[in-house]
Amino acid sequence: MMHSPIPLSRDLVLIGGGHAHALVLRMWGMDPLPGARLTVIDPNPVAPYTGMLPGLVAGHYRRAELEIDLVRLARFAGARLIVGAVTAIDAEAGRLTVAGRGDLGFDVASVDVGIHSAMPDLPGFAEHGAAAKPLGPFAEAWEGFVQQVAEGAAPRAAVIGGGIAGIELALAMAFRLRQVAGHAEVTLIERAATLAPDTPVVRARLARACGAAGVRVLTGAEVTELTGGGVVLRDGRTIAAGFVAGAAGARAHGWLAQSGLPVTAEGFLRVGADLRVEGQEALFAAGDCAHLTHAPRPRAGVFAVRAAPVLRDNLRAVLSGGRTRAFHPQRDYLKLISLGGKSALGEKLGVAIGGPVLWRLKDRIDRKFMAKFHDLPAMPAPAMPRLRALADTAETAPLCGGCGAKVSPGVLASVLSAQGPVRRADVLSGPGDDAAVIAVGGARQVLTTDHLRGFTEDWGVMARIAALHALGDIWAMGAAPQAALVSVTLPRMSETLQARSMAEIMAHAGAALRAAGAEIVGGHSTMGAETSIGLTLTGLLTRDPITIGGARTGDALILTRPIGAGVLLAAEMRGLAEGRDIAALLGILQVPQGDAAEILAGPAHAMTDVTGFGLAGHLMAMCRASGVAARLDLAAVPTYRGAEALAAAGVRSTILEANRAAAPVAGGSGPRHELLHDPQTAGGLLAAVAPGQAEAILARLRAAGHRAACIGALTEGPATITCTPGANQETFHESGNRP
């Protein structure tokens, strides 16, 4: 990926994708600070806008309408997104810990991780309750319950917490359940003596709204336990409920206090007027996780939104040696409270009004905010020169990353054929297979190399995928991984950032290689225009190598992984892919396939890994080497979620047309047919096995966690590929490589 000509020198890390950070990312994309490397870390690829949660619960909004796609936003901002949860910050050392990844260094950091409403001390809540925050798990649990009600379950729900958030949820639940089942039984439980104890101005109106909606209100009621049947109160009463929501107050994330940072008694970060954490020069905080010591305010999204420009300016100031400025939050704001249906209550300065017009106002405000992230401004592309040399192609789209950046298969084949035959007796095979076979003393080794152009700014993820991608050649030959040389090109950066970057890359590549039985024994590093990671690997053979030339007429074709990675990565580069689809894809590409190779090694007559030349290209190579033809069942070929829709919309990888020319496929049409030529990064293993063994092999692969499929068979004839369209197409929907 191309970087600024100014060397990178400072690391800025945004911890959490809250409202303030989302706005900072948007502003950063429009005016980045040269020399600063921006990273955002969040447990999810999307961040919810909680102001629209009641509307989601009531059924007024689709979930996508209130989610900020952090993958697209990070790409727009020129930032790298790490999908993970921060569990500790060492502010003095400039280091933070991400669960499952280890430590990352920073020069300046900001925290906007929001709050949660889980109730860990309430017996049974973890098993039978759903915390209103974070939104993702809550929304999934609620939609699951609504589906159960639609299928005949009793429409009974309860909400623990009678503040504004709890009231909005209870009213929204009652509205939605009535729409689904015709009636609803919703109970709102508040420990205090009155409903809405912190908002007396609107209390009476909210009580009337609950009554009109049929929401049963219990005040002065303390919950002691949740069971599979509902809520148990201290006085012995049991409230029957199939769904129980926790909305009893805002809770800070415990790891903030455990990191030794200054926090309030409730665990919220104490920040000063310039949004810096007290006593810290390079650590900021905003949103609900922060307490403004100079101007305490309620926990409301409006303050995070207003703080964002100040936060952005102050982060830039500290990174560049400038002066920070103070954030002055407004004293009051318009509070808009959803009432279940498309009606709302508004309160400001002690005056309250309600009705549909307030809902329309709230809806317009919410949609306007979300439009900032759904409709990111198009940044102007560099102007094409007026005068330029004649070209063979009109291709002007950005060069893809990963295997989408490979040299054309036709060009590569002509260059390799010009090298002539192998002359050394100890080199047992030449170019053409997945790896070369070399005699060393009394042993045989396989030798391969692979190199990937950057396709994600998360270099830990890229390093792991690059290692597994290179290991695919070793596994496909039936060899045991042995040793690795790592080659890394970094964009120009300071020595501090070089050290951080190389440590991250080597840690993740090393972990993937060690898990496969290989060791890093050296390598090479340099700085250049963009990031790339390559590996040269050796493997030991204890059996005859599995080549692409042993396939037989009648063999069944087994593929261990879906296709469509190339089009997804190409779309992500252009801001066209769904963040959830990209996060799911990257998760799958980090799953090793060594166990799949072991399952296939015995029965496979021929095997290869599907990479840059696409499924059709690698299958054609097998057909040519084996002297057979192939028939594909197009419907049986699995695809990654989102890939077909993107292909149908015209998204293409850089190398796709060259792949199509090198391995044409007769029969069939449409986006799935096009994906047969899509370049794959860390793609699946493709094996030819005896037809009578295919079913048992598939069962073993799926039991091991691989989304394997029998996609066709080999037939007699010249090396050609024909496909039948079929009817039952399979799309890969899971977030991991699981059946």
Enumerate the H helices of 214-343 as residue ranges: 254-258, 301-320
Please name the amino acid found at residue 684.
G
SS3 call for 285 = strand
- CA nearest to 505, candidates 461, 535, 471: 461
Roughly how many angstroms between the first and final C-alpha of the chain, as a whole number? 34
Q: Where are the beta strands (DSSP E) in 84-200?
A: 86-90, 95-98, 102-105, 108-111, 129-131, 156-160, 185-190
User: What tokens appear for 529 in the block?
Assistant: 């225009």
The residue among 717, 726, 639 whose CA lies nearest residue 676 is 639
Q: Which H, E and C letters describe 233-272, residue by residue? A: ECCCCEEECCEEEECCCCECCHHHHHCCCCECCCCCEEEC
Distance CA 482, CA 485 (A): 11
Residue of 210, 400, 403, 723 marked active site: 403
Question: How far, in whole angstroms, is CA 83 from its chain's centroid?
Answer: 6
Tokens of 63: 């979930």
In the sheet with 86-90, reading across from the earlier edge strand, the strands are 86-90, 95-98, 102-105
Show the tokens assigned to 504.
């991250």
- CA–CA gap between residue 694 and residue 465 (Å, rounded): 28
Tokens representing 727 are 């009817």
Tell me the torsion sign for CA atoms 15, 21, 24, 25: positive
Query: Identity (one letter) of the amino acid at 560?
Result: T
Of residues 563, 545, 555, 543, the one with CA closest to residue 618? 563
Quick one: tokens of 465? 């995928």
**Residue 464 has which token pair?**
């792991």
- Which amino acid is residue 462, in one-letter code? M
Q: What is the spatial order of strands in the sheet that 243-246 belongs to?
A: 129-131, 243-246, 156-160, 185-190, 216-219
How far apart (Å, rounded) are the C-alpha atoms in residues 445 and 427?
Answer: 10
Is 623 a known active-site residue? no
Structure tokens at 260: 């030794």
Structure tokens given for 580 = 């959830």
Residues designated as active site = 403
